[in-house]
A and B are shown apart, each in its own frame.
Chain A
Amino acid sequence: MSLCSLRRHFFKHLSYTSTFFTHRIHHINSNICLPSRFSPPSSAITEARAQWRHSSITAMFSTSSSATPTTCSFASPYLSVHIRCRKDVADVLSEALLCFGASSTSMDEEDSYEPDDEVYITSIFSDCQDVDECISHAADSIGLKEMPTYEVMMGNQSDWIKKTQESFHPVEVTEGLWIVPEWRTPPDPQATNIILNPGLAFGTGEHPTTKLCLLLLHGLIKGGELFLDYGTGSGILAIAALKFGAALSVGFDVDPQAITSACQNASLNNIGPEQMQLHLVPSKSIPPFTDEMKCVGVEGKNSYGDAGGISETEKYDVVIANILLNPLLDLAEHIVSCAKPGAAVGVSGIISEQLPHIIERYSPFLEGISVSKIDDWACVSGTKKRNITGS
């Protein structure tokens, strides 16, 4: 696919933000033990980003697996192992495999199995693990007398990525508004069609929270607004706002993958950098280094949002943050500070049981709070109070 060349093409347009990104990441690098091979010239950024992302993933998993893969990269193949065992020990064996280093196990369901029958467990391991040792330990730990027979196959990341992409279909969010995957034709060429290739970022249009936010945006944008998509993911809300008539969309995200996806999607919809700007912002929540993070180039609450010197305070007519409960609680002041007084602020990515926390946290800043829901998901919106004490 020509995605790679597309990405590189877009980096030329965003040379400003690329510099911002490397500067910020370099700061983080010096405080956290990430592999120091991260020093990107712009052509190596995509590969370096992949490595950076992967190191945070391995850092998360080093406490839960007995093998610590340090040299595997995100793009490397994985091992798919078919293990034969008896049905009645399959469940226990699956759990044991996870304890001893398997990334995941799965078992197909057939109705006609007797307990004595043999079944297959498909277990996925990362490329550099000792499969034999893991299976042997797992079998030992549940008291199996014999080592189960197994077969190892190589799997490619592209296998599951392709399958996932195949499951995207055009979605009509509301009358006249469609989200269409890049590789399908819009069912209604006259409608407002947002073309998407979400890649590995959030926001395909199918999720209830995306729909809630799109509906909210649809009602708020009258034409000419400045919109902030806080946690932009695939860029879907930023793009939608422009299609509805906003003058400028800005997207923040902590995930480099998201910025990449959003860039691509902007170009798929013929949106140029003068209409849509994307910024990678440092993540506050990389445990357990949160305290050190606060010291790295961040003086106070307002400067957290200073994207390379640009003040984001009180700049936007509409701000939407479709993320998760914890960042919404932590970053409430910052999210609201980006909005002009009287501007609309919407937050989502929360489930119904989390609503009281959000409403309590945002009540000091917002008035006219209303809640919309689809299934168990909710979106809270209001307008920023004109006189906020201590904001």
Chain B
Amino acid sequence: MASLKEILTRRPVAATIRLTVPAGGARPAPPVGPALGQYRLNLMAFCKDFNARTQKYKPDTPMAVTITAFKDNTFEFTVKSPSVTWYLKKAAGIESGSSRPGHVVASTLTLKHIYEIAKEDG
């Protein structure tokens, strides 16, 4: 529950932006450029901040980023470890999910795989 002070000083939110960015690899280019540029957010600041904070992850791991853009053009962001889908694809060793989910099986995973993913994802 937010404190009274937090509520009073909360900045008005303009938008919520979601994108996937490789750890340590944010650049002021697509997909970051168009997504953040349209709200006039400081691309360089985001890239530098994001890259510094994702140094502890394996380089180029796709990270799920959620950015809250405020009306005064400032922003905050949170970084989540890769989506479960990504882990599943990686464990199964495939590039994309099945093109017809429910009809065509793309790959098979063993129970051990699932266990490992659950452990790593925390």
Contact of A351 among B53, B89, B99 (CB under 8 A): B53
Once A99-B83, A160-B34 are accepted as A-B contacts, the answer to whether A104 and B48 lie under 8 Å apart by CB is: no
Chain A residues with CB under 8 Å of B27's CB are 57, 200
Would you call A39 an interface residue if the criterion is a C-beta within 8 Å of the partner chain's C-beta atoms?
no
For the complex, what is the distance from the CA of A190 to the CA of B31, rounded to whole Å? 40
Min C-beta distance of A132 to chain B, whole Å: 14
Chain A residues with CB under 8 Å of B89's CB are 63
Summarize A's interface: helix, strand, loop or mixed.
mixed
Count B-side interface residues using an 8 Å CB cutoff.
52
Contact of A107 among B15, B19, B22, B85 (CB under 8 A): B15
Summarize B's interface: helix, strand, loop or mixed.
mixed
For the complex, what is the distance from the CA of A67 to the CA of B96, rounded to whole Å? 8
B40-55: which have CB < 8 Å to A?
40-45, 47-48, 51-53, 55
Min C-beta distance of A260 to chain B, whole Å: 13
Chain B residues with CB under 8 Å of A326's CB are 24, 55, 59
Min C-beta distance of B35 to chain A, whole Å: 4
For the complex, what is the distance from the CA of A80 to the CA of B29, rounded to whole Å? 15
Chain A residues with CB under 8 Å of B22's CB are 60-61
Contact of B17 among A105, A166, A204 (CB under 8 A): A105
A186-239: which have CB < 8 Å to B?
198, 200, 202-204, 206-207, 209
Once A167-B73, A202-B48 are accepted as A-B contacts, the answer to whether A104 and B17 lie under 8 Å apart by CB is: yes
Chain B residues with CB under 8 Å of A94's CB are 16, 18
Chain A residues with CB under 8 Å of B55's CB are 324-326, 354
For the complex, what is the distance from the CA of A262 to the CA of B78, rounded to whole Å? 32
4 nearest CB pairs, A to B:
A160-B37, A103-B31, A104-B19, A104-B35
Task: Name 13 interchain pairs, CB-CB below 8 A, sorted by A.
Answer: A57-B29, A57-B30, A64-B86, A74-B30, A94-B18, A104-B17, A106-B16, A141-B101, A157-B33, A159-B34, A167-B40, A167-B41, A206-B42
Interface residues of A (CB under 8 A from B): 53, 57, 60-68, 74, 78, 80, 94-95, 98-99, 103-109, 122, 124, 126, 137, 140-141, 155, 157, 159-161, 163-164, 166-167, 198, 200, 202-204, 206-207, 209, 285, 287, 324-326, 349-351, 354, 377
